[in-house]
């Protein structure tokens, strides 16, 4: 696509083919910042590229910011959790706004982020940092005492998450003190949270000039397994409250532009609890789902709102109307093998024959023995569905959990 | 676009149809995404297309719908970067494996490729790389090799490995048969098999498979072939029961027992029967080796009879009796029946009379193969007989059928041509090459005085080791290919085409040092056509070269065109003979290392392989038609003919052919420029 030199010049932090493809097809000039293993591929395919290994921030970190500055880059967009603070550091130099770096650190640490949210008047569950197993056992006991459980009653679970990892990575559910022993020491420190019974959902909000440009609600059918967009009419009925929550979040974190991806619970009494927020594209291919539903490319949407040279009119013209303009419901399901030993991939007939079934990204098994899942683990691939009814989509996605894709 | 639906099946009902229509929408969506994707993201869009295509192909009528979309699918890039991208090189024999695969993507992409070729064969899709005729040939062979898919339901084994996937090849083949024509399919196959056999290839495995398929269909009472298949008898019997005593295909053991109780007149009649079947078809039955080994104790007269030898061959047999006996013991086994044919033709050629050949054959008999060579042969041919016997069979076949060498599915036409040329012209040199390659894993050739080792240069023209070759090529080609590529590298930076220097050094001293090319290397434009053609006529055409028949086979390069006369690529061939054909037309007879010489090059140029005075394995064209596809040739500058005697009209006719085909977009802006001095590039 022809590049418009009057518009911003964008650096993509991290390696994502979908993002590169979107950038290729967008009118902004761009450059990919990725580890040096990407160099050969980029040279071969003529992809603009600057090598950088994203390890911990250190004394040399200014180098990449200066390189990009010299190239005339206007903004850096983080594509992965690990590049969020890099983007903050780089953008604080490119835009001469030192505050951006601090903001990115807040967004990278789950404990800090919860405190900040709390200070901003947002409801969060009970949480604490744990430095060892003793902390976990204490927290589990205290939470259940608070809930007025008696000895012998089944405990309410608590959740353990790494401070700075994306999504379900390192996410564990602990119910009894025995289970605490299964946590390897190297996972500490971790963030502990009380369990909230409720309806969990996520939001993708594109923010421009401190205002919401587009707000999508992604409905989880089962956390870690399935998600669909737009949310069902029942969840969408909370849209005004959700929008208000996001506005609070924008204020609390002082977010002027970019894409945020927070998670919430709605409890049975309609109260919203903040889970966490990420300053990067969501996992689980929600971007792909949005493209199927609305037809716009969500990576391009991010480039648009990050670019300081974008005008409000351009933003207005880019985004469709939420829910109203949705062509269908699109959902995906992450497949985990259910058997201990598998020999081949076989999509169940009932899935394949379902008119909602669109495509899958599953590959034949590499190994016959399935490693036991610790924590939430990673799925083996996604299956995509598309259809006209939210209820049917929800039921379908739920049913998937009972099926064997690897036999 | 018409859709072909099978009315006998109820699943063509509205419900099934809705489902198909729904899937087609998804397929078109996926195809569009792939088509619009940048080259670097195509691989990520491909799985969705393949998977959706798989679901379409599972449906009744799905194959027809996919065929209708085959051009769009190919243009979107489904074959890009795979073997299917170049359909002209696809080998029908590989389809069986692909269609039986447990990998859905493999089955689907193979099916998509087949359906694309149906569209090409039907003239609905003008393909840049393959003509309608080639596509048709290919599909007939594919049908022949996989007849079981037309007439049988999935076996237990298929269900086990493929599951529901097994339905796809069947749907596909019903559609193919519908499109290519059901009723005469077997007859066309038989025609096709004879056409291939007339070229006497060394590798006959796929032909044998096709014949076996026909035999199975004929023997199955549940399959009604109608009146077709009559012409298959000679083919089937030559493999499974060429003589009285094995007519009903009793098995090798029983046949061996029967032989032990035969008197000499019965043996005589067996011998004659085998010999006739073998020379009729070029195929030897597994029973033939049993007889031949048995006859070693019953006198050379019967051995000669069983080999079907003429007086030349018989003389040779009697002169080299010990050697021939040793060769039969070493190479002729029921698992290597073609060795009989190779041996017979080698004796007929009389090459054993060349002093070094017989001793070299003795060396071959006792040659110890390197571990690598053994492993390569076992990988390609299994271990039914020892690798040494397998190689010996290959040597006999190559020496007996020098023009039967094929390059397989590999870009190694140069190496195949060299092997064929040596077998034809310099057999002891070939045997030397085989010994070096098979025993030492290294061949050293010299280029302008510098030794080049096949072990030192790692990269050849072919990127992977070939396996679809005859035993000799299997071991020798990888070495030759690397040396050839290295010779090319040594010419980098020189002005002009590297073949000028490489060909004589690579193929042999007899390749003329005079060299002509009619394409300017730098620009790709035609260059100095008039002088090029005059030299060619004066060196090769008996009317202009003092009626001198061609002495040595000469390497030459041709611009291959398809049936629409569009340029396809450069290709190496050997000019063998130039002489008047039975209808008094001056013809060039040549060898084409491509596995099937019968090709339509467009604009009325059809390469003939039989019926115009060709010997087995030769291709031929009238002189001027051949000249019109030639772009490189060698000649002896000291044996110049009459350049000026060639008439302008004759040359204009050739130039007309060139301008109408591969030269159409290579005509230089003004003739003046093209005539200025020698090649500049």
The confidence score (pLDDT) of residue A57 equals: 63
Q: Which of A169, A194, A219 is the last residue of a domain?
A: A194
Q: How far is A386 from chain B (nearest CA, A)?
A: 11
Q: Is residue A234 part of a domain?
A: yes
Q: Say whether the peptide bond before residue A230 is cis (omega within 30 degrees of 0).
A: yes
Q: Is residue A1 part of a domain?
A: no
Do A225 and A181 share a structural domain?
A: no
Write a three-state SS string for B567-597. Answer: EEEEEEEEEEEEEECCCCCEEEEEECCCCCC
The residue length of chain A stands at: 407
Do A138 and A23 share a structural domain?
A: no
The confidence score (pLDDT) of residue B1 equals: 40
**pTM of the full predicted structure?**
0.63
Do A318 and A215 share a structural domain?
A: yes
Q: Is B21 at the interface with chain A, CB within 8 A?
A: no
Of A25, A45, A344, the CB nearest to B39: A45
Cα(B284)–Cα(B274) distance, integer angstroms: 8
Best CA proximity match to A78, nearest among A200, A164, A146: A164
Q: Is residue A3 part of a domain?
A: no
Cα(A198)–Cα(A268) distance, integer angstroms: 6
Do A92 and A47 share a structural domain?
A: yes
In chain A, which residue's Cα lies nearest the Cα of B59?
A353
User: Which pLDDT tens digit goes with each residue over B651-679?
Assistant: 999 999 999 999 998 988 754 444 443 33
Q: Say whether the peptide bond before residue B671 is cis (omega within 30 degrees of 0).
A: no
Do A211 and A285 share a structural domain?
A: yes
Say if the Cβ atoms of A45 and B38 lie within 8 Å: yes
Q: Is residue A68 part of a domain?
A: yes
Q: Which positions ≥6 away from B656 have C-beta within 8 Å? A: none
The confidence score (pLDDT) of residue B473 equals: 96
Look at residue B607 and tell me whether its pLDDT is greater than 60.
yes
The confidence score (pLDDT) of residue A377 equals: 57
Name which of A365-369, B132-136, B303-307 the model is least confident about.
A365-369
Say if the Cβ atoms of B40 and A344 lie within 8 Å: no
Do A256 and A315 share a structural domain?
A: yes
For residue B89, what pLDDT band results from cuts at 50, 70 and 90? confident
In chain A, which residue's Cα lies nearest the Cα of B50?
A359
Using left for φ > 0, alpha for ψ between -120 and 50, and beta otherwise, residue B243 falls in: beta
Give me the mean pLDDT over the B533-560 stretch.
Answer: 94
Give me the mean pLDDT over the B122-151 stretch.
Answer: 85
Q: Is residue A121 part of a domain?
A: no
Write a three-state SS string for A220-231. Answer: EEECCCEEEECC
Give me the mean pLDDT over the B260-282 stretch.
Answer: 95
Q: Is residue A206 part of a domain?
A: yes
Say if the Cβ atoms of A17 and B41 lie within 8 Å: yes
Q: How far is B192 from chain A (nearest CA, A)?
A: 39
Q: Is residue A406 part of a domain?
A: no
User: Which pLDDT tens digit goes with each residue over B320-364?
Assistant: 999 999 999 999 999 999 999 999 999 999 999 999 999 999 999
- Residues in chain A closer than 8 A to B49 (CB atoms): none
Sort strands A9-13 and A75-78 into parallel, antiparallel or unpaired: parallel
Q: Which of A194, A218, A247 is the last residue of a domain?
A: A194
Torsion of CA B407, B413, B419, B424, to 10 degrees: 100
Do A87 and A26 share a structural domain?
A: yes
Burial of B642 (C-beta count, 10 Å sphere; 0-12/13-18/19+) = middle
Look at residue B279 and tell me whether its pLDDT is greater than 80.
yes
For residue A169, what pLDDT band results from cuts at 50, 70 and 90? low
DSSP B129: S
CATH number of the domain bearing residue A57: 3.40.50.20
Total number of domains in chain A: 4
- Residues in chain A closer than 8 A to B163 (CB atoms): 346
Q: What is the mean pLDDT of chain A?
A: 88
For residue A261, the cross-strand partners are A278
Q: How far is A180 from chain B (nearest CA, A)?
A: 41
Do A204 and A320 share a structural domain?
A: yes
In chain B, which residue's Cα lies nearest the Cα of A365?
B103
The confidence score (pLDDT) of residue B226 equals: 64
Q: How far is A358 from chain B (nearest CA, A)?
A: 7
Say if the Cβ atoms of B38 and A360 lie within 8 Å: no
Best CA proximity match to A245, nearest among A222, A272, A212: A272
CATH number of the domain bearing residue A172: 3.30.1490
Which residue range forms the structural domain that includes residue A24? 9-107
Coil, strand, or helix at residue B557?
A: strand
- Helical H segments across B59-128, by residue range: 62-68, 70-76, 95-100, 104-121
Do A55 and A94 share a structural domain?
A: yes
User: Which pLDDT tens digit goes with each residue over A299-357?
Assistant: 999 999 999 999 999 999 999 999 999 999 999 999 988 888 887 788 888 898 899 99
- Give the DSSP letter string of A112-135: HHHHHHHHTT--B--EEEESSHHH
Do A227 and A165 share a structural domain?
A: no
Coil, strand, or helix at residue B466?
A: coil
Q: Is B28 at the interface with chain A, CB within 8 A?
A: no
Q: Which of A271, A294, A326 is the last residue of a domain?
A: A326
The confidence score (pLDDT) of residue A269 equals: 79
Give the number of other CB atoms < 10 A from CB of residue B64: 21
Q: Are B285 and B295 in contact (CB under 8 A)?
A: no
Count of CB pairs separated by less than 8 Å, A with B: 36
Say if the Cβ atoms of B48 and A359 lie within 8 Å: yes
Coil, strand, or helix at residue B607?
A: coil
Sort strands A9-13 and A29-34 into parallel, antiparallel or unpaired: parallel
Do A311 and A226 share a structural domain?
A: yes
Give me the mean pLDDT over the B88-102 stretch.
Answer: 85
Give me the mean pLDDT over the B29-41 stretch.
Answer: 89
Q: Is residue A114 part of a domain?
A: no
Best CA proximity match to B406, nearest among B610, B596, B196: B596
Name which of A201-210, B144-153, B492-501, B599-608 the model is least confident about.
B144-153
Q: How far is B486 from chain A (nearest CA, A)?
A: 26
CATH number of the domain bearing residue A289: 3.30.470.20
- Residues in chain A closer than 8 A to B46 (CB atoms): none
Do A140 and A78 share a structural domain?
A: no
The residue length of chain B stands at: 681
Q: What is the mean pLDDT of chain B?
A: 88
Say if the Cβ atoms of A358 and B26 lie within 8 Å: yes
């Amino acid at each position: 696509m022809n590049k418009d030199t009057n518009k911003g010049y964008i650096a993509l932090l991290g390696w994502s083919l979908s993002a590169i493809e979107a950038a290729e097809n967008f009118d902004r000039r761009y450059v990919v910042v990725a580890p040096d293993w990407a160099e050969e591929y980029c040279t071969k395919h003529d992809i603009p590229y600057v090598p950088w290994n994203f390890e911990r921030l250190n004394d040399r970190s200014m180098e990449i910011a200066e390189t990009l500055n010299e190239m005339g880059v206007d903004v850096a967009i983080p594509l992965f959790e690990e590049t969020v603070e890099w983007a903050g550091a780089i953008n604080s130099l490119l835009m001469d706004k030192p505050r951006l770096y601090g903001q990115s650190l807040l967004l990278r640490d789950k404990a800090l982020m919860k405190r900040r949210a709390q200070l901003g008047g947002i409801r969060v569950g009970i949480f604490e940092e744990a430095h060892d197993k003793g902390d976990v056992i204490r927290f589990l006991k205290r939470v259940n005492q608070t809930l007025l459980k008696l000895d012998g009653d089944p405990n309410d679970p608590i959740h353990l998450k790494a401070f700075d990892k994306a999504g379900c990575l390192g996410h564990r559910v602990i119910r009894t003190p025995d289970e605490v022993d299964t946590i390897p020491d190297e996972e500490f420190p971790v963030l502990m949270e009380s369990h909230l019974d409720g309806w969990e959902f996520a939001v993708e909000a594109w923010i421009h000039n401190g205002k919401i440009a587009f707000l999508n609600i992604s409905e989880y059918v089962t956390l870690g397994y399935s998600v669909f967009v737009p949310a069902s009419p029942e969840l969408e009925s909370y849209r005004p409250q959700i929008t208000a929550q996001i506005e609070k979040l924008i204020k609390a974190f002082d977010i002027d532009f970019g894409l945020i991806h927070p998670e919430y619970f709605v409890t049975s009494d309609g109260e919203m609890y903040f889970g966490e927020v990420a300053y990067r594209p969501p996992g689980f291919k929600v971007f792909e789902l949005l493209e199927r539903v609305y037809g716009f490319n969500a990576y391009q949407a991010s480039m648009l709102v990050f670019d300081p040279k974008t005008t409000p009119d351009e933003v207005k013209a880019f985004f469709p109307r939420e829910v109203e303009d949705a062509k269908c419901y699109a959902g995906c399901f992450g497949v985990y093998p259910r058997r201990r030993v598998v020999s081949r991939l076989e999509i169940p007939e009932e899935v394949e024959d379902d008119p909602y079934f669109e495509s899958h990204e599953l590959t034949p098994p590499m190994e016959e023995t399935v490693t036991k899942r610790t924590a939430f683990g990673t799925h083996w691939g996604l299956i995509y569905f598309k259809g006209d009814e939210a209820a049917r989509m929800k039921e379908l996605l739920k049913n998937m959990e009972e099926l064997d894709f690897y036999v | 676009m018409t859709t072909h639906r099978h009315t006998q099946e109820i699943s063509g009902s509205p419900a099934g149809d809705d489902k198909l229509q729904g899937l087609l929408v998804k397929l078109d969506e996926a195809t569009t995404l792939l088509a619009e994707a940048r080259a670097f993201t195509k691989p990520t869009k491909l799985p969705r297309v393949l998977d959706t295509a798989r679901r379409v192909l599972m449906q009744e009528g799905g194959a027809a719908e996919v065929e209708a979309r085959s051009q769009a699918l190919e243009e979107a890039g489904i074959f890009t970067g795979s073997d299917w991208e170049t359909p002209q090189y696809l080998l029908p024999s590989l389809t069986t494996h692909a269609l039986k695969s447990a990998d859905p993507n493999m089955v689907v992409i193979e099916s998509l490729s087949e359906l694309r070729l149906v569209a090409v064969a039907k003239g609905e899709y003008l393909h840049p790389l393959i003509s309608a005729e080639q596509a048709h040939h290919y599909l007939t062979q594919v049908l022949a090799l996989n007849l079981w898919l037309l007439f049988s339901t999935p076996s237990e084994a298929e269900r086990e490995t493929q599951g529901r996937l097994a339905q796809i090849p069947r749907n596909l083949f019903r559609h193919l048969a519908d499109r290519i024509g059901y009723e005469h399919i077997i007859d066309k196959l038989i025609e096709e098999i004879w056409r291939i056999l007339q070229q006497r290839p060394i590798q006959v495995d796929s032909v044998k498979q096709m014949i076996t398929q026909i035999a199975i269909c004929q023997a199955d009472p549940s399959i009604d072939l109608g009146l077709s298949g009559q012409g298959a008898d000679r083919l089937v019997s030559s493999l499974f029961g060429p003589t009285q005593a094995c007519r009903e295909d009793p098995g090798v053991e029983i046949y061996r027992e029967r032989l032990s109780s035969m008197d000499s007149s019965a043996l005589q009649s067996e011998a004659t029967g085998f010999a006739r079947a073998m020379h009729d078809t070029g195929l030897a039955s597994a029973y033939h080796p049993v007889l031949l080994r048995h006859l070693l104790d019953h006198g050379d007269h019967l051995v000669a009879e069983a080999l079907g030898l003429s007086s030349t061959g018989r003389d040779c047999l009697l002169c080299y009796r010990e050697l021939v006996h040793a060769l039969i013991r070493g190479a002729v086994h029921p698992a290597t029946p073609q060795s009989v044919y190779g041996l017979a033709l080698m004796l007929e050629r009389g090459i054993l009379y060349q002093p070094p050949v017989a001793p070299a054959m003795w060396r071959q008999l006792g040659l110890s193969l390197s571990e690598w060579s053994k492993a390569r042969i076992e990988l390609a041919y299994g271990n039914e007989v020892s690798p040494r016997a397998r190689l010996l069979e290959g040597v006999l076949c190559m020496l007996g059928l020098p023009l039967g060498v094929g390059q397989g599915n590999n870009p190694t036409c140069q190496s195949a041509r060299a092997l064929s040329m040596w077998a034809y012209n310099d057999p002891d040199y070939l045997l030397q090459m085989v010994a070096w390659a098979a025993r030492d894993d290294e061949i050293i050739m010299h280029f302008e005085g510098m030794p080049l080792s096949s072990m030192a240069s790692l990269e050849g023209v072919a990127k992977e080791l070939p396996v679809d070759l005859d035993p000799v090529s299997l071991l020798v080609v990888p070495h030759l290919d690397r040396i050839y590529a290295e010779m090319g590298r040594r010419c980098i930076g020189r002005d002009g085409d590297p073949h000028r220097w490489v060909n004589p050094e690579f193929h042999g001293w007899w390749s003329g040092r005079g060299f002509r090319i009619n394409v300017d290397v730098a620009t790709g434009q035609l260059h100095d056509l008039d002088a090029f053609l005059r030299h060619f006529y004066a060196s090769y055409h008996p009317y202009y070269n003092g009626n001198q028949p061609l002495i040595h086979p000469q390497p030459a390069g041709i611009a291959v065109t398809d049936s629409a006369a569009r340029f396809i690529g450069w290709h190496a061939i050997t000019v063998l003979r130039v002489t008047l054909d039975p209808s008094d037309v001056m013809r060039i007879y040549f060898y084409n290392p491509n596995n099937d010489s019968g090709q339509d090059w467009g604009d009325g140029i059809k390469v003939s392989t039989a019926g115009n005075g060709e010997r087995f394995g030769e291709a031929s064209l009238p002189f001027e038609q051949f000249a019109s596809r030639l772009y490189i040739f060698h000649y002896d500058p000291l044996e110049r003919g009459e350049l000026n005697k060639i008439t302008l009209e004759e040359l204009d006719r050739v130039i007309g052919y060139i301008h109408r085909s591969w030269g159409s977009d290579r005509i230089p802006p003004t003739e003046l420029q093209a005539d200025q001095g020698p090649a500049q590039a």
